Structure 1
Amino acid sequence: MYKIGNIYFIAAIAVIGGGLFGFDISSMSAILGTSQFNCYFNQGPHGPPFDDEACSGPDSTVIGGVTAAMPGGSWLGALISGFITDRFGRKTSIQIGACIWLIGSAIVCASQNLGMLGAGRAINGLCVGICSAQVPVYISELAPPSKRGRLVGAQQWAITWGIMILFYISYGTSFVDGPAAFRIPWGIQMVPAVILLIGLMFLPESPRWLARKDRWEEALEVLTLVHGKGDSTAPMVVSEMREIKEQVEFERHNSDVGYLELFKPNMINRTHIGIFVQIWSQLTGMNVMMYYINYVFLMAGLSGNTNLVASSIQYVINVCMTVPALLFVDRWGRRPTLLVGAALMMTWLFANAGLMATYGSYVPGGVDNKAEASWQVTGPASKAVIACTYLFVASYAPTWGPVSWIYPPELYPLRVRGKAVALATSANWAFNFALGWFVPPSFENIQWKTYLIFGMFCLSMFVHVFFMFPETAGKPLEEVTQIFEDPNGIKYVGTPAWKTHVNRQIGLQEERGEMTTSGKRHTSEKISLDEASPER
């Protein structure tokens, strides 16, 4: 079958896997506040379905559980993706995820009750877990260091597009009577999975995974396609094959890799950093804003269509503000981006807490009978709350959003990369699950103090990043390894994080044709497959 080798096209197709997560976020945030949803899944005194007299909808704990079903499934999906990707390949694992999404979306679309809805979302979560873990691995193993950040970060951009597109679709269908209002967007979310499944058929597999499976001819074909422009003797292809050979030889001298490998002395620091960059990305509170933004704006005095339109503005901001990161994150570096993002988000969260505490008041039963919106701010203070919410989104979008996906695949050597990124991503979904269930009761019971909790998380992550997170931008993956361990990989070295900087020479050397995708200077010598394979 014909294969496409343009790295930007490869990334554009692969990151649709991230877009599925964005579709899922909007499939709940835009629908939770509609009367059609609340009437059909009503748990009030008159019961479902279609109770037009008292559509109180599901209570906050149930809403939290249904919302959390997806990240719960994603946690499991991310964990098992490490085994799937090592056995079947990076590309195939993403295709498996797309098939799972189609099954889950069909169940969600046909949901007759909350149990069926939660089950379908949990199945969707399996797909999101697999794709969110393995799409960054797939792209990072094909991309050159100088472009790795923008290409892997495109996953976050796809997420933001997914959120915005399905939100507006859901907003449009909110004017449709009956359950079609939510069944239409839940059905439409199957479309990108079909595009992903078909598009991946025309993309190459990771050459590093092929080499690990002794499929050297295919690995050479992929390198020739992506980096050699059809010339198998291109210097970049030759040197890349040599590097892959060295990596595979090293791996053959070690036993099969399992998750326990990630907790050995020479790997534990990297494991902790990869896990925490994903945990912190959740504890910023951003996904809380995405899932439950309608409750936030209810507290700020917006309701009905005004609430939905105001909510949609943050999705537009999210899409637009992710673009600077894609353009400049490889120049800015990972550390400064994370530090600036944490500081700004902390500022807006504390500002919202102060505004609500000073100018807000408790509303028994909640605004519009929504117990999750049990605190209300009116007048100029409500506009300030809305503004701070938008500024929070604008601070997250170019910082923690993309970098939380870019950073983990850069930390690990080939032999553990698939499982390591899977473990880190599973931590993301574990906390996403917990927060999805925690926030509705939190808004109901401690109101504005919820913002204080997330503000303190942002302060903590700023300190953690400064002292523990090294710079990886522009560095070959082998150079990143040297930050953590000696050349023999025996002991932990630990270069202080604040002494690491962006390697700006890599991009210049690549542009002059002096360097391979691994960062090594190339030669024009041809390499044979017999020499490449360590077993020949």
Structure 2
Amino acid sequence: MGAGGIAISGGTAGWAHLIDPNRKWYNNARLITLNAWVVLFLITSSTNGYDGSMMNSLQSLTQWESAFHHPSGGMLGLLNAIQNIGSLAAYPFSPYLADGLGRRPAVFFGASIMCAATALQTASQSVNMFIGARFLIGFGLTFAATAAPMLVSEISYPPYRAPLTSMYNSLWYSGAIVAAWTTFGTFKIPTSWAWRVPSALQGLPSVIQVALVLFAPESPRWLVSKGREAQALETLAYYHADGNDQDPLVQYEFEEIKAAIDFDRTVAANVGWKSFLTKSGNRKRMRIIIAIAFFSQWSGNGLVSYYLNAVFTTIGITDPTIQLLINGILQIWNLSFAITASFLVDKLGRRYLFLTSCCGMLLFFTLQTVCSALYAHTQSKSAAHAVIAFIFLFYASYDIAFTPLIVSYTVEILPYAIRAKGFTIFNFSISLSLIFNQYVNPIALKKLQWKYYLVYVAWLAFELVYCYIFVVETKNRTLEETAALFDGEEALDHIAHNAVAHLGGGEVRDEASEKGSGSYANPQELVSKA
């Protein structure tokens, strides 16, 4: 039984029997090229990850502290939160740019702003200049981060769609690793270049994107939505079938995309902001999307992501060298778990990973709290070391689901017509949660010390219950089919039968049925009202 009154059966993706088993990402030149373009969009997340780790590390640099007059409390919160405030300012515009001009121009526009902003941040001579630059970084990041994961999901070769989209947020840690180790390498520089060098490197992914992004393929879904169907078919054929536009897989994808977009426009009228309130399927989507956005930042991870030095101080670790070293190792640890989980999303399933993640986080954060309390009362070094161990185990649990899945799951459960708007709501929710965290955490941690952890222990228990009730399984389905799961039998039936009607009708349905495709032989088997 799925969440919210939806019962969902298993099944193989409708395209599974159309895949050439000999065509792999490593032995086909066009798939290699396509995946290279995908990587170009994935590194958008690296910029965001770099920022969090850089700001964490800068707080351990005496050169940065001196340059900006030892910020603390509200000023320190503002320095961290201002990027997300900049992101908030861009949200009213980002979905319209991604839907209006296309996914590629939106990434290009955002990356261009971030190039200029990182240059300004690197040249900062005052705290106000630094704050203004970080506002612009957040503003530009919103445009790129809205369009990039959608484009990854919409151009990927079907068997690789879920793992590649899940890698988007996982590569947050690639940026975090570079930032952590760059700062570790520069902190002994006696001048302001100790922090200016890490600041300058933050713009590297954006520079690469500005140079290359307009040469990448545009989303076939966007092209179909703009009436450019011939170009959409050509793009699908070029990358998914070596240029053969009559390939069964390409035709299947093409017709399903057209059917899904047509359904949302004409039958469901599911196209505007108002539909998020008026359509029951969208309300089900929103209660999941908004929740996982807040969960991704309010699970206790915000303490380590932005205020690791403060956490270390509470357990007696004050040496900047040790703080930076642990931070660098932690980011490598996180990346390894997040990438591994990305490749398991279709094997183990989204729901399984979410529930496993919640259980692990609750367990290890509780143990971290206990050891922090023990250190506060006894000053035991063993307790301090145990806190560090449980931070690593907590993050391993977090990375099982809340790193790889929050973006890919959000993108795939939203139909094309409202994908950009729904993803904007998701990003807006994350920004709100981050702003709250970045203002409240340093103040609460300073006043309550380890007792503040108890708030997160209770919240993690709530997260586990919420995910158990509401998270819907979506593994092994096409992008269009996954989105339609929330809209009931009519949506699945319309998309399925309109797609196969253009491919020869019953003959295609019979073949799918014989191959075990639970998707299109009988759409009613996929979704039934509880």
Shorter-chain TM band = 0.7 to 0.9
Amino acid at match of 2:369: A
Whole-Å Cα distance in 2 between the matches of residues 78 and 269 of structure 1?
22
Q: Is structure 2 residue 69 aligned with structure 1 residue 69?
A: no
Show CA shifts across 1:497-536 (max 9, x none).
Answer: xxxxxxxxxxxx99xx9799x9669xxxxxxxxxxxxxxx
Shift in Å at residue 78 of structure 1? 4.2
Whole-Å Cα distance in 1 between the matches of residues 264 and 362 of structure 2?
43
Match of 1:417 among 416, 419, 430: 419
Shift in Å at residue 419 of structure 1? 0.8
Partner of 1:318: 334
Q: Kindly, what percent of the aligned residue pairs are identical?
A: 26
Shift in Å at residue 144 of structure 1? 4.6
**Structure 1 residues 448 and 114, CA, compared in 2 at 3 Å: closer, same or farther?**
same
Mapping 1:80-479, distance limit 5 Å: 80-253=93-266, 257-266=271-280, 267-302=282-317, 303-361=319-377, 377-479=379-481
Shift in Å at residue 416 of structure 1? 0.9
Give SS of 2:78's match: helix
Amino acid at match of 1:295: A
Partner of 1:496: none
Amino acid at match of 1:444: K
Shift in Å at residue 145 of structure 1? 4.8
Count of equivalent residues? 472
Give SS of 1:170's match: helix
Shift in Å at residue 403 of structure 1? 0.8
Per residue, is there more helix in 1 or in 2?
2
Q: Is structure 2 residue 52 aligned with structure 1 residue 25?
A: yes
Whole-Å Cα distance in 1 between the matches of residues 144 and 451 of structure 2?
34
Match of 1:38 among 65, 81, 95: 65
Give SS of 2:344's match: helix
Give SS of 1:446's match: helix
Amino acid at match of 1:27: M
Partner of 1:52: none
Shift in Å at residue 246 of structure 1? 1.7
RMSD after superposition: 2.6
Show CA shifts across 1:460-519 (max 9, x none).
Answer: 1111111111111112234334532234459xxxxxxxxxxxxxxxxxx99xx9799x96
Q: Is the CA contact 1:145–1:519 (under 8 Å) kept in the aligned structure 2? A: no
- TM-score normalised by L of structure 1: 0.83
Amino acid at match of 1:258: G
- TM-score normalised by L of structure 2: 0.84
Shift in Å at residue 131 of structure 1? 2.8
Runs of 4+ in 1 over 4 A off after TM superposition: 513-516, 518-521
Q: Is the CA contact 1:145–1:474 (under 8 Å) kept in the aligned structure 2? A: no
Q: Is the CA contact 2:38–2:156 (under 8 Å) kept in the aligned structure 1? A: no
Q: Is the CA contact 1:145–1:475 (under 8 Å) kept in the aligned structure 2? A: no
Task: Point out which structure has higher relative CO (alpha carbons under 8 A, 6+ apart).
Answer: 2
Shift in Å at residue 337 of structure 1? 0.6
Range moving further from structure 2, 249-258 or 117-126: 249-258
Whole-Å Cα distance in 1 between the matches of residues 289 and 157 of structure 2?
21
Q: Is the CA contact 2:87–2:139 (under 8 Å) kept in the aligned structure 1? A: yes
Shift in Å at residue 444 of structure 1? 0.7
Whole-Å Cα distance in 1 between the matches of residues 451 and 380 of structure 2?
18
Shift in Å at residue 129 of structure 1? 2.3
Q: Is the CA contact 1:85–1:93 (under 8 Å) kept in the aligned structure 2? A: yes
Give SS of 1:237's match: helix
Shift in Å at residue 123 of structure 1? 1.0
Whole-Å Cα distance in 2 between the matches of residues 139 and 451 of structure 1?
37
Q: Is the CA contact 1:110–1:183 (under 8 Å) kept in the aligned structure 2? A: yes
Q: Is structure 2 residue 485 aligned with structure 1 residue 483?
A: yes
Amino acid at match of 2:43: I
Whole-Å Cα distance in 1 between the matches of residues 85 and 153 of structure 2?
26
Stretches of structure 2 that go unaligned for 5 or more consecutive residues are 1-29, 493-510, 522-530
Show CA shifts across 1:368-400 (max 9, x none).
Answer: xxxxxxxx9442111111111111112112221
Amino acid at match of 2:466: H
Show CA shifts across 1:146-191 (max 9, x none).
Answer: 4222101111232111000111111111111121111111112111
Whole-Å Cα distance in 2 between the matches of residues 488 and 169 of structure 1?
54
Q: Is the CA contact 1:24–1:163 (under 8 Å) kept in the aligned structure 2? A: yes
**Structure 1 residues 519 and 142, CA, compared in 2 at 3 Å: closer, same or farther?**
farther
Show CA shifts across 1:50-107 (max 9, x none).
Answer: xxxxxxx112211011101112222333453211111111122111111111121122
Whole-Å Cα distance in 2 between the matches of residues 132 and 179 of structure 1?
30
**Structure 1 residues 256 and 198, CA, compared in 2 at 3 Å: closer, same or farther?**
farther
Q: Is the CA contact 1:90–1:138 (under 8 Å) kept in the aligned structure 2? A: yes
Q: Is structure 2 residue 10 aligned with structure 1 residue 10?
A: no
Whole-Å Cα distance in 2 between the matches of residues 285 and 480 of structure 1?
30
Partner of 2:17: none
